[in-house]
């Protein structure tokens, strides 16, 4: 231990090493700023497998896409049982009502209402419109714990697949991605899924996906309806069994690199939050020197197996339930007042908006000339100003008039 090695050159007292170790362990500054060298806290907790197709779905947005046919966002909707997915294009700025409409037009008309929707804490999914509508329809909404998107790891993985596909198909012309979206959806749904041991297409329709070049010969269906339903039920049981095996296998391997961690009500813990960021901003130099943990805060309730509710300051607008991986136990009996939590939104980004334009420029991009502003952000210092596309600022902050 470095501190002890330095001190023993000058001082000595009985049990000196133990005293120094306790001093370092209980140091509030060290606990807030030093990285934990431990396995990822919290063992894997797979969600229960649903009994019916499209009874439980997950949702997420893919942001930051170039404008294509007046669209720059993709809403990804995935069925938890069959892994079948729909990719729906949107354009900023969009409202909860816009997302509800595209969901009804593209998902509800095909599969009906689910009993459960799992999503992150995007402003759309936490809005009163979204919450009130689906709760009135009897749909349970399950939101991820703050800073823990792994709750909806399924959609995150589908997002990666879709982004990889579009990157391969449009790398030379990225603004053409919208025209590839239907093919991307068919490609994903007709691709073999290791957890299912079949394709999502086959899991939904009970037959392999037809090849584009396959000739469709007329066929006479002579099987009785009862046999069809029986085969369908058998196929569903096979899917559930395959998913159970896949979940057990993933949990076994994931837990090799995880550590079990738990707390008691009343424990004081530090909270790990994300440094400020903005969807279109690059990293700032000062992020490296930000405190890694805030607090300590008192645990008031255990929520499920891996989440805890904290007693946060009244002015803090963070959802108070956090995954165990975001928490670290406070060592020692002394509680030193800490700097307050940063003003952040539900996604962990500093709550900010443009307040001034410091400069203007035009830059070439894809054979076009793009107007940009050097934007100063609220709650951030002037040196944190960033160059942003003029069209982006106008679309996301329509009331901003410098």
Q: Which of 1, 63, 8, 59 is nearest to 281 (CA)?
A: 63
Mean pLDDT of the chain: 76
Distance CA 402, CA 354 (A): 9
Q: Going edge to edge, which strands form the sheet with 293-303?
A: 321-323, 307-311, 293-303, 268-272, 327-329
pLDDT at residue 107, rounded to an integer:
94
pLDDT at residue 244, rounded to an integer:
61
- Kindly tell me the sign of the dihedral angle through the C-alpha atoms of 228, 232, 233, 235: positive
The C-alpha angle 178, 179, 184, rounded to 5 degrees, equals 85
pLDDT at residue 215, rounded to an integer:
42
Distance CA 190, CA 275 (A): 39
pLDDT at residue 71, rounded to an integer:
92
State how far Cα 141 lies from the chain centre: 15
Give yes or no for a contact between 25 and 332, defined as CB atoms under 8 angstroms apart. yes
Give yes or no for a contact between 73 and 61, defined as CB atoms under 8 angstroms apart. yes
Which DSSP string do the residues of 26-93 spell out, in sequence order? T-HHHHHHSPP-SSEES---PPPPPSSTTSEEEEEEE--PPPBTTB-EEEEEEETTT--EEEEEE-SS
pLDDT at residue 101, rounded to an integer:
94
Compute and round to an integer the Cα radius of gyration of the chain: 26
Q: pLDDT below 70 — which residues of the chain?
A: 1, 32-47, 145-154, 171, 211-226, 228-260, 274-291, 314-318, 335-352, 379-380
pLDDT at residue 303, rounded to an integer:
82
pLDDT at residue 50, rounded to an integer:
81
Distance CA 295, CA 328 (A): 10
């Amino acid at each position: 231990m470095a501190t002890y090695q330095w001190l023993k050159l000058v001082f000595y007292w009985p049990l000196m090493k133990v005293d120094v170790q306790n001093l370092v362990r209980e140091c509030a500054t060290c606990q807030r700023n030093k990285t934990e060298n431990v396995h990822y806290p919290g063992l894997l907790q797979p969600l229960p497998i649903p009994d019916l197709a499209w009874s439980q779905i997950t949702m997420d947005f893919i942001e930051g896409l170039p404008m294509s046919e007046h669209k720059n966002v993709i809403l990804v909707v995935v069925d938890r049982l069959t892994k079948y997915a729909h990719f729906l294009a949107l354009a900023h700025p969009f409202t909860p009502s816009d997302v509800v409409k595209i969901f009804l037009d593209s998902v509800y008309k095909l599969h009906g209402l689910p009993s459960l929707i799992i999503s992150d804490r995007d402003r759309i999914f936490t809005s009163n419109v979204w919450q009130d509508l689906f709760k009135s329809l009897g749909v349970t909404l399950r939101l991820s714990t703050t800073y823990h998107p792994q709750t909806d790891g399924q959609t995150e993985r589908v997002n990666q697949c879709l982004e990889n596909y579009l990157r391969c198909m449009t790398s030379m012309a990225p603004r053409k991605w919208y025209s590839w979206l239907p093919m991307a959806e068919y490609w994903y749904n007709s691709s073999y899924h290791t957890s299912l041991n079949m394709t999502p297409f086959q899991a939904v329709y009970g037959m392999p996906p037809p090849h584009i070049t396959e000739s469709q010969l007329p066929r006479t269906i002579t099987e009785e309806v009862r046999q069809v339903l029986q085969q369908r039920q058998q196929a569903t049981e096979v899917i559930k069994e395959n998913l159970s095996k896949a979940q057990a296998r993933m949990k076994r391997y994931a837990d090799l690199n995880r550590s079990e961690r738990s707390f008691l009500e009343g424990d004081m813990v530090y909270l790990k939050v994300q440094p400020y960021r903005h969807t279109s901003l690059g990293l700032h130099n000062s992020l490296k020197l930000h405190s890694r943990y805030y607090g300590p805060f008192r645990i008031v309730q255990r929520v499920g197996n891996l989440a805890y509710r904290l007693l946060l300051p009244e002015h803090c607008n963070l959802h108070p339930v956090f995954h165990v991986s975001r928490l670290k136990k406070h060592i020692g009996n002394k509680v030193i007042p800490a700097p307050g939590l940063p003003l952040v939104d539900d996604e962990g980004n500093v709550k900010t908006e443009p307040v001034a334009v410091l400069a203007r420029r035009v830059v070439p991009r894809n054979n076009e000339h793009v107007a940009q502003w050097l934007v100063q952000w609220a709650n951030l210092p002037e040196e944190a100003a960033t160059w942003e596309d003029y069209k982006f600022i106008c679309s996301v902050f329509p009331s901003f008039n410098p």
